[in-house]
Structure 1
Amino acid sequence: MKFSVLFCFILLIIFQADFGQNEKTPRKQRRKIHHRRLRKNSSPNHTSNQQLRTLQTTVTPIARLPIMNSDYSVEENFESFLSFRGVESNYNVLPGKKGHCLVKGMTMYNKAVWSPEPCTTCLCSNGRVLCDEAVCHPVTCPHTVKPEGECCPVCAATVSYSLLSDITLNDRTEFSGDSSEQREPTSLLHKEMPPPQVGMDQVFRRGATEPEDNEEIKDMEHREEMPGPDASKVGNGPERKLRSDGKERSAHQLPNPRKEEEEEDEDEEGEGDDDEKEDEEEDAVRGDVFRVPSRIPIPAPPRGMPRMPGGCSLSYRTISCIHAALTQIPPMTAPDITSLELHGNSISSIPDEAFNGLPNLERLDLSRNNITSSGIGPNAFKFLKKLMRLNMDGNSLVQIPSELPSTLEELKINENNLQAIDEESLSGLHHLVTLELEGNNLSEINVNPLAFKSLKNLSYLRLGKNKFRIIPQGLPASIEELYLENNQIEEINEICFNHTRKINMIVLRYNKIEESRIAPLAWINQENLDSIDLSYNKLYHVPSYLPKSLLHLVLMGNQIERIPGYVFGHMEPGLEYLYLSFNRLADDGVDRVSFYGAYHSLRELFLDHNDLKSIPPGIQEMTALHFLRLNNNKIRNVLAEQICNVEEDKDSSLEHLHLENNYIKTREISPYAFSCIRSYSSIVLQPQHIK
């Protein structure tokens, strides 16, 4: 008993000594350790790695089926890009040879990263679109704000600065009359400032600032103009001033309440170890001696700059007036602006002088307005010598605007009322890469065969939702991707693609094409054409004479009853993706030679939503098959050698096998039916119909 009491007493003494030691730790030292850890954790590499680890533990890839609408359209589903292996394929895979992704009508190249929304980042990975939400890390400043268009908060002091027209703190001397020597410390301060986000009302103001701001500015200027003990030595070395406590401080050092508090704590505690000195030296090298107080006056803008409407905002070099209820383009003079967003207003006209004050525009968004062709001046865009992207979607144009800049690389006039494209409509646009004219009244009758002649660099052409009955003539030789969905195309003749030797993707879904109306020489000799989408047409069997370079074939939503033998036999290196969902395939429409030529290459085979009563022959011979969909058929049993080859003692490459919504009695399945599949969790058997 005495030994136990003695042992407890010794432990109590040890705990008290440790607690007292912690209490004696200087408050400044503890604060420095805390900030040092924050700086370490906020480094770029650490942040990205921490985000990745966090998402990897919270995001689980989910197998998603597309949502079929009443018009047979298929909504796209995005998946997380953290787990490439084991992610279910969806119906909209049409990546092309390089693994391109199709996103809301736009084609993204493999490994492309973009942000469809301020807080979302997406990645194109081998034909799959994978998106993740941004993760905001805590900021260490006491006051934070969330700038418009951003998803993460920033320090309040950061938002008080402007970069427009190079009007920053180090340029304020142009308006206050300060000498160049006195500008030096402020310039160093500006170099430590992060790029700011500012409101439009802070930049485009007609008069002076508010009285309180003026007083602060005058007080700041007065402090800068006051000479030190030896003003003649400014710039030759850090001069010294005496503080109220008798210590020296650099004249270039601005007061910092937090640092003064730390110094007072140091005086009170009386601690000054070597670690603190090293931290102070590190702070000097890092530039924190030029820290500024939380309330820094905003520099007064130059007089004469026009006031912008309240609904507009400024972010770096972009003026954004989205849904600002504008009825006309406001006059602006801002030579450094490179992007102007006027989406979702009521603008009906564009006068010749509309963009005279924005000569360096590179991107102009005029979509979703009421702009008419008669309301556009003949020289409205002529003097925008650096414009590369012009978006006029959702207006009331009946013709393509004239005098467009030759620097254009992207032109979008979707969802308008275009009635014709003549030989001169697109002349001079030699640098155009992307042209989108979807949702208009265009047809082979009102589109001149020479309309695309001058587009020497055009690679991406959208002509969907128009009234074409045949493939447009005169396509540029440089075309790589052609979208003609939702037209009235009935045939593909043998001269359609004679001059388009670079084309690698053709989308013809939602048309009226029959296999007998596809000419044998229409595309069989194409060497780069690897993706064709013929979904929702009038096909009764898989077309013959397909391109020998084909990798991806999408035939969903037809009336296909048969896969002819050897139809894929001529393809090199071989078909990889075959989608035959929502057709009328039955057992007598598929035999062993139907997949001849694709046994070694086929990676994904979708035969769901058909009339199959048994597993199609030849599945066990597909050595590269990863995804197999046989759900929503009339299959009643799975025999031992229909999926796995019992004679060969090796694992199958199958990662996902769907057999749900059939009439299979799971208890009657042979124990060897799935013996070659490495993971049984990849087999989906439930639910089944009971009949």
Structure 2
Amino acid sequence: MMVSAMRLNLILALSFLACLNFSLANDQRRPLARDRRRGVGPKRARKQTSNTALQQGRTAESNAQDGSIFIESYKNTKEPKPNYEVTAAKSEHCIFRGITMYDKTVWSPKPCVNCLCSSGEVVCDQILCPALRCQLKFQPIGECCPICIDPVVDAPDFSGDPPSPIDLGDPYTEISQSQRDKKERLKQDEEERIRKKDAERKQRKKQKKEEAERQKKLKEAKEAREKEEELRRLREEEEERAAAEERKRRMEEQQRVEEDRARRLEMEQREMIRALEEVAERAKEGLRGDEAAEDEDMVWLRGDVFQMPPVPPTRAANSPSLLALQEPTEPVEDDRELGEEETDVVEEDSEMVTTLLPPGCSISDVTVTCENAKLTGIPPLSIPELKSLSLQGNEIKTIPAGAFNGIPNLEWIDLGKNKIVSSGIDPQTFKGLKFLSRLYMDGNLLEQIPSELPSTLQELKINENNLKEIEENSFEGLSSLVTLEMEGNLLSEGNVNPQAFTPLKELTYLRLGRNHFRTIPQGLPASLLELYLENNLIEDISETAFNHTTNINVVVLRHNKLDESSIAPLAWINHRNLESVDLSHNNFYLVPSFLPKSLVHLVLAGNQIERIPGYVFAHMEPGLEYLYLSYNKLDGDAIEPESFFGTFNTMTELCLDHNQLTSIPMGINEMTGLHFLRLNNNKIRHISEDAICDPLNDNDSHLVALRLENNFLDPRKIPPTAFSCVRSYSSVVLKPQRIK
């Protein structure tokens, strides 16, 4: 019986415990179901379940004596103490949202809030987070307190307490792990970014080093070029000195030859006078009869032939129309006296060569001039000493092969304004002139360059002809040519071979004005310094137009069809020697940009320019000195404050006359080196005190001339100090003014 009773009691106790567990399980499932109905997601449900389990664990611990369930895993978990006071009440249970809570039960109805059932009353308070001793903290979603995510957590020693809920399979373990992975990835990304930054810094450092080396090489190359230019300049100066000395020596030698010739002529004149006296004496004595009369007309002396006019001998000797043409190969000695028999021998053995200069010709020293003498051919001359021959303004049509055989030492020939055609010039005409340096053939009918010109030629002028073509070999052999003029012909980029200028290694001066070029001719020699292309049809300047002419100094392009958009940006901006550009009488509406850096002299007169853009001269080094903008359309809004930037210390001469300016342009008072200023023929009505002269500038007066006539100025209203920078008030031109 005793054993049966004990078994019955044990069964009843177990049944009671099972019912109690079932009741508690139902109480736990109800709030979870409500949360699901309210739309709480699985993740939120897990978090709330974890919090509920934790809170129930705390409740079970505090009500163990009343028979509630005790969760062993949360036994030693330390929780923050709520800051509420427990008040006595009559009831032992609490009802919260339809759920019965035992006395002393603690639960969390929502994150960061703890509630306590105390004697039938529900008391809730905000949870206080514990202090964490770690560097990296993370607050999970839905939790009110942060957690540590350091790989090694410096956590307090719990002296053998059980592990925290996180270590016991808390659902947030996965979140912490993912956060650690994310942190690791962030750390790796940061390290990768640092590595990339270091690599970029090293790359920039390498590029900077390479750039420094490149700049160093460029500087060395520039210094080498400058040194080479200096050596070339010194060599050229030495050659020029040597050439000057050679010319001086030749002039001295020529002068000595002339002096010897003059002495010889004087001696010959004395001998001739003496011979004439003897002949006259014999005529009086009747010794020779008729033969003596013939001797009065012609006298032979030392092999030279003189024709005696019926005038005194001294006048005949100085006459420009008489000339000794050829010296004897075996002259008779000066001290030989001509007797009667000797005179007869001379008459028999001597060969008389005599030529008269045509009418209209004259001789002076070593120059024969036959200008406008109506000649139809080259006169036959035999004067070895002759250096210059001018046949300008005649009617010469042809030049035969031996035209200059008697004058082989010619250095200058002027055949301008004749009727010479290309087919009338023999190919061998000029070949024998070994000293010819200047040949002028302006104003003829030539259609091509004469062939076989001597290599000594330095200056060739073929202006105002009918040149229709320049072939590849037109200048073959003219390596010494310095000046070439072919203005007023029918040349264009289509009939000028780009290789034609290749032989001209020394060409520095080229004139091609008044032709039909639409672009800059190609193949210009690298030695070129001055190029004149005025009065053509040029409407485009390409980037390669001046690529080979890096030494060019002057470019004249006036009277063409250029505008500000027709000049390529890199056409000439980097030229270091181009100092003078003439773009007058074109179609510019603005001052063109990308002008040469080295520009000193700029002519833009006679265009349609309405505005000077800001900083258009700022890139020039050392700076613009001469600017001519006369006869344009500049008005009151044409000039900006920065228009003349870069010229304040260099501008010397500025011409803005014949425009429509209503006031003194800004920036003029800052030009400290300005000497000449033209503002006449505008619409200026007022001049302020500091418009032209800066009153704060204490330097000496620099303006030499100032022109303001033909404006609308009242001289009585001009401030007394307006012209303080002008050296002399007499240099200021104010009259006349226009009637208002």
Under a length normalisation based on structure 2, what TM-score does the superposition of the two structures give?
Answer: 0.55
Aligned-partner Cα distance in 2 for 1:688–1:546: 36
Structure 2 partner of 1:425 = 474
Asked if 2 retains the 8 angstrom alpha-carbon contact of 1:206 and 1:306, the reply is: no
Residue 166 of structure 1: CA displacement?
Answer: 7.8
Structure 2 partner of 1:169 = 266
Aligned-partner Cα distance in 1 for 2:266–2:421: 44
2:444 to 372, 395, 418: 395
Structure 1 residues 538 and 172: alpha-carbon distance in aligned structure 2, compared to 1, 3 A threshold: same
Structure 2 partner of 1:386 = 435
Which residue type is aligned with residue 482 of structure 1? L
Structure 1 residues 568 and 169: alpha-carbon distance in aligned structure 2, compared to 1, 3 A threshold: same
Structure 2 partner of 1:371 = 420
* 3-state SS in 2 of match to 1:169: helix
2:592 to 531, 543, 552: 543
* 3-state SS in 2 of match to 1:319: strand
Aligned-partner Cα distance in 2 for 1:592–1:683: 25
Which residue type is aligned with residue 266 of structure 2? L
2:557 to 504, 508, 514: 508
Which residue type is aligned with residue 634 of structure 2? L
Structure 1 residues 165 and 649: alpha-carbon distance in aligned structure 2, compared to 1, 3 A threshold: closer
Which residue type is aligned with residue 329 of structure 1? I
* 3-state SS in 1 of match to 2:561: coil
- Structure with higher Rg: it is 2
1:554 to 600, 603, 625: 603
Structure 2 partner of 1:490 = 539
Aligned-partner Cα distance in 1 for 2:724–2:307: 81
Which residue type is aligned with residue 434 of structure 1? T
* 1:441-465 CA-partner distances (Å, limit 9, x unpaired): 0000000000100000000000000
2:492 to 434, 443, 449: 443
Residue ranges of structure 2 left out of the alignment (5+ in a row):
1-257, 276-303, 317-333, 338-349
Structure 1 residues 345 and 338: alpha-carbon distance in aligned structure 2, compared to 1, 3 A threshold: same
> Does residue 209 of the first structure (1) align with residue 258 of the second (2)?
no
> Does residue 318 of the first structure (1) align with residue 415 of the second (2)?
no
Aligned-partner Cα distance in 2 for 1:348–1:164: 35
Structure 2 partner of 1:461 = 510
Total equivalences in the alignment: 429
Aligned-partner Cα distance in 2 for 1:363–1:566: 50
Asked if 1 retains the 8 angstrom alpha-carbon contact of 2:269 and 2:314, the reply is: no
Residue 591 of structure 1: CA displacement?
Answer: 1.7
**Which 4+ residue blocks in structure 1 deviate beyond 4 angstroms?**
161-167, 171-178, 211-217, 223-226
Aligned-partner Cα distance in 2 for 1:521–1:463: 23
Map 1:307-346 to 2 at 5 A: 307-346=356-395
Aligned-partner Cα distance in 1 for 2:588–2:687: 30
Structure 1 residues 584 and 172: alpha-carbon distance in aligned structure 2, compared to 1, 3 A threshold: same
Map 1:1-16 to 2 at 5 A: none
Residue 215 of structure 1: CA displacement?
Answer: 11
Which residue type is aligned with residue 309 of structure 1? P
Residue 328 of structure 1: CA displacement?
Answer: 0.9
* 1:198-239 CA-partner distances (Å, limit 9, x unpaired): xxxxxxx9763136647999xxxxx9989xxxxxxxxxxxxx
Which residue type is aligned with residue 418 of structure 1? L
* 3-state SS in 2 of match to 1:514: coil
Residue 308 of structure 1: CA displacement?
Answer: 1.2
Aligned-partner Cα distance in 2 for 1:689–1:328: 61
Asked if 1 retains the 8 angstrom alpha-carbon contact of 2:478 and 2:503, the reply is: yes
Aligned-partner Cα distance in 1 for 2:428–2:723: 70
* 3-state SS in 2 of match to 1:461: strand
Residue 163 of structure 1: CA displacement?
Answer: 7.7
Structure 2 partner of 1:124 = none
Aligned-partner Cα distance in 2 for 1:317–1:564: 59
* 3-state SS in 2 of match to 1:592: coil
Structure 1 partner of 2:667 = 618
Structure 1 residues 669 and 406: alpha-carbon distance in aligned structure 2, compared to 1, 3 A threshold: same
Aligned-partner Cα distance in 2 for 1:542–1:494: 19
> Does residue 352 of the first structure (1) align with residue 451 of the second (2)?
no
Give the fraction of aligned pairs with identical amino acids, expressed as a percent.
59
Residue 649 of structure 1: CA displacement?
Answer: 3.5
Aligned-partner Cα distance in 2 for 1:317–1:456: 31
Higher relative contact order (CA 8 A, sep 6+): 1
* 1:246-300 CA-partner distances (Å, limit 9, x unpaired): xxxxxxxxxxxxxxxxxxxxxxxxxxxxxxxxxxxxxxxxxxxxxxxxxxxxxxx
* 3-state SS in 1 of match to 2:555: strand
> Does residue 527 of the first structure (1) align with residue 585 of the second (2)?
no
Residue 662 of structure 1: CA displacement?
Answer: 0.3
Residue 336 of structure 1: CA displacement?
Answer: 0.4
1:671 to 720, 726, 731: 720
Structure 2 partner of 1:563 = 612
Aligned-partner Cα distance in 1 for 2:727–2:305: 72
Which residue type is aligned with residue 169 of structure 1? E
Aligned-partner Cα distance in 2 for 1:323–1:679: 51
> Does residue 588 of the first structure (1) align with residue 667 of the second (2)?
no
Which residue type is aligned with residue 436 of structure 2? L
Map 1:23-42 to 2 at 5 A: none
Aligned-partner Cα distance in 1 for 2:398–2:260: 31
Residue 302 of structure 1: CA displacement?
Answer: 9.2
Asked if 1 retains the 8 angstrom alpha-carbon contact of 2:705 and 2:726, the reply is: no
Structure 2 partner of 1:134 = none
Residue 310 of structure 1: CA displacement?
Answer: 1.6
* 3-state SS in 1 of match to 2:706: strand
* 1:333-371 CA-partner distances (Å, limit 9, x unpaired): 110001000011111110111111110000000000011
* 3-state SS in 2 of match to 1:587: coil
> Does residue 636 of the first structure (1) align with residue 685 of the second (2)?
yes
Residue 645 of structure 1: CA displacement?
Answer: 1.6
> Does residue 478 of the first structure (1) align with residue 553 of the second (2)?
no
Asked if 1 retains the 8 angstrom alpha-carbon contact of 2:577 and 2:598, the reply is: yes
* 3-state SS in 2 of match to 1:532: strand
| Deviates further, 431-440 or 644-653 | 644-653
Aligned-partner Cα distance in 1 for 2:623–2:584: 21
* 1:574-600 CA-partner distances (Å, limit 9, x unpaired): 100000000001121102200000000
Asked if 1 retains the 8 angstrom alpha-carbon contact of 2:273 and 2:313, the reply is: no
* 1:644-685 CA-partner distances (Å, limit 9, x unpaired): 222334433111010000000111111221133231111010
* 3-state SS in 1 of match to 2:307: coil
Asked if 1 retains the 8 angstrom alpha-carbon contact of 2:710 and 2:738, the reply is: yes
Which residue type is aligned with residue 210 of structure 1? P
Asked if 2 retains the 8 angstrom alpha-carbon contact of 1:574 and 1:601, the reply is: yes
Residue ranges of structure 1 left out of the alignment (5+ in a row):
1-160, 179-204, 218-222, 227-300
Asked if 2 retains the 8 angstrom alpha-carbon contact of 1:651 and 1:677, the reply is: no
Aligned-partner Cα distance in 2 for 1:215–1:568: 70
Structure 1 partner of 2:729 = 680
Which residue type is aligned with residue 586 of structure 1? D
CA RMSD of aligned residues (A): 2.8
* 3-state SS in 2 of match to 1:340: strand
Aligned-partner Cα distance in 2 for 1:215–1:645: 74
* 1:596-632 CA-partner distances (Å, limit 9, x unpaired): 0000000000000001000001111100000000000
